[in-house]
């Protein structure tokens, strides 16, 4: 695993420079997609609280 992470360093730097959009910016240096994780958290909260409680007031 250490060899793979050491080899992945330069490739991740290229992705950061190239990926200026939200999807590229949402990935950390460890490769975790934080945007997908946040969507999952919001979906779980939506299920727990119900649809009406997460909607902004009119």
The pTM assigned to this predicted structure is 0.35
- What gap in Å lies between CA 41 and CA 57, rounded to an integer? 21
- Min mean pLDDT across 2-6, 31-35, 52-56 is at 2-6
Per-residue pLDDT reduced to its tens digit, 14-53: 445 445 555 555 555 777 788 999 999 988 888 887 766 5
Domain boundaries, the chain: 2-54
């Amino acid at each position: 695993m250490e060899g793979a992470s050491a080899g992945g360093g330069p490739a991740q730097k290229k992705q950061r420079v190239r990926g200026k959009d939200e999807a590229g910016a949402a990935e950390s240096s460890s490769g975790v997609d934080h945007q997908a994780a946040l969507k999952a958290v919001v979906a779980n909260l939506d299920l727990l609280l119900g649809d009406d409680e997460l909607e902004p007031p009119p």
